[in-house]
Amino acid sequence: MPADVRPLRDFLEIPYDALEEMNLEAKQQRLQRVPEGQIREQRVKYLTDERRIKAVTVCFTDLEGRLHMLDYDKKFLLKSLDNLTFDGSSVRGFSQQHESDLRLRVDWPAFYWLPSDVFGPGKVIAFAEVCARDGTPYAADMRQRLKHYTDELYKKDGTVCQAANEIEGFLFRGRDAERRYHEVGRFEFLSTGGYYHSLPGDDLRRFIDRAAEAQRAMGFANEKDHPEVAPSQFEMNYSYTEALIAADQVQLYKLLCRQIAQSLDMSACFLPKPVTGVNGNGMHTNLSLTRGGKNLFFDPKGKDGLSPLGWQCVERILAAAPDICLILNASVNAYRRLDPHYEAPNQIKASAIDRGAMVRIPLGNERSARIEVRSIAPDANPYMAIYTLLRTGLEGPAGSSESSDDGKRSRTRFLPDNIYDALRLFKASRFVGEVLGEGIQDRFADVKQASAERCPKALGTTIKTAEIQFHHEVTNQYLWSLF
């Protein structure tokens, strides 16, 4: 090719080391609370000047926790920033047909450069806030609710909410394994090696390596990655960060894993309990509060190294556990995981050592002291779950210290073991109504009720096809429309 002839397609492709630097710098801007208007100006200038970007992926999360993405031509986006609209009636849990038009407002600090070998060259991604027709925050957008709540805490007295999620998943052979489950009735493992036993070059390890590389490139600050206890199960851990960033990373983690698995002719599955007879998938969520750089949950003299504020948050979460169980376990399949035979955290108590406890107090120091809520399933809406846990821990009903005295209680309380009981407790809870608002409490209950009614009421021990086929993260428009 002559030197003066440009290739037909010249789209942006950034090496992984440069990607990591760029995304970590953007993350640091969020942590330092650089004014949003200043970041918007920088990003708009960048998009205007960088000719090799063809599209901007704008994403938002619906009430149930599904990530939705729209690709905007870059030039169109820059001209239409104040008028990005979409049909909310097409999104379950959002607006009705007669009030369908909703708006998107780009959250410019939540902007990521993408690995081109995963997403294709010439693309960047940004999270968006959902707004009503008049531009006011849309009540069912839980991301915006979490952002507002954590911002208000910081403005009040400098309190910063920290979170880190440990997200487990399964890797199955073949693309679209969940969508095809109703045809074949089973999932096929890639590896049966188990915890830590995966060979360096096997399919599971190959997937984990690629996914972890992409996460590091997107600024996750990874710490370790490994196969999990069940066959063909994985987990990749990354550092704690502020709550909204942590929730965004949950969505990106699952998106990256699914896309990389598909490129390898595999499926990354985040159903809480996809296979009968083995451990399920959890999303253990670590929480702490800091102020002025000081960890408010650390007290070297406190029980298990936790401060009185930390224990107060634990006791309030335990007191509200039955009411908020549906938020943390939002599908029929999630209640399969809460089975005590498979290390399930279904006991409403806190413990430093008992992994059957809903809340664990990990061994920590001044930097790492935290509480770990273990009963969350990976299909929960991460924004709703973290927002609810923070509000419950700080404002929830007063709990009893009795719940945290391992072995000294007269009876052990358990989380609901089916979605019907969880729905009943959720709908009757005045506290949930205060946290979500009655309109959103009813709307969330309605979509969960509809999902439950498509599945057998008596769960038994065998995974039923309906609980996978009609699961909110298993998108199959054709099958859903037949119902």
Q: What's the CATH code of the domain at 222? A: 3.30.590.10
Pairing of strands 266-269, 233-238: unpaired
Residue 11's DSSP bridge partners are none
Our count of domains for the chain comes to: 2
**Amino acid in the structure at residue 442:** D
CA–CA gap between residue 313 and residue 81 (Å, rounded): 40
DSSP state of 381: -
Residue 6 lies in a domain: no
Is 119 in the same domain as 218?
A: no
Taking only the tens place, the pLDDT of each residue in 323-374 is 999 999 999 999 999 876 766 899 999 998 887 899 999 988 899 999 999 9
Q: How far is CA 9 from CA 5, 117, 122, 407, 440, in A?
A: 12, 15, 10, 66, 46
Which tokens is 309 given? Answer: 């504020």
DSSP state of 99: G
Residue 3 lies in a domain: no
Angle formed by the axes of helices 243-263 and 382-395, nearest 10°: 150
Of 318, 312, 319, 290, the C-alpha closest to 394 is 312
Q: What is the mean pLDDT of residues 95-110?
A: 83
Of 139, 170, 200, the residue at which a domain comes to its end is 139
Residue 406 has pLDDT above 80, yes or no: no
What is the structure's pLDDT at 456?
A: 86
Taking only the tens place, the pLDDT of each residue in 277-290 is 888 999 999 999 99
Local structure of 69: helix, strand or coil: strand
Residue 84 lies in a domain: yes
Of 327, 331, 355, the C-alpha closest to 341 is 355
Residue 332 lies in a domain: yes
Is 264 in the same domain as 304?
A: yes
Residue 144 lies in a domain: no
Q: Give the model's confidence band at 377: pLDDT under 50 very low, under 70 low, under 90 confident, else very high.
A: very high
Largest Cα–Cα separation, the chain: 83
Residue 154 lies in a domain: no
Residue 14 phi/psi, 5-degree rounding, is -115, 130
Is 283 in the same domain as 391?
A: yes
Is 119 in the same domain as 166?
A: no
Residue 388 lies in a domain: yes
What is the structure's pLDDT at 281?
A: 94
Is 177 in the same domain as 133?
A: no
Residue 127's DSSP bridge partners are 59
66: containing domain: 16-139
Count of CB atoms situated within 10 Å of the CB of 141:
24
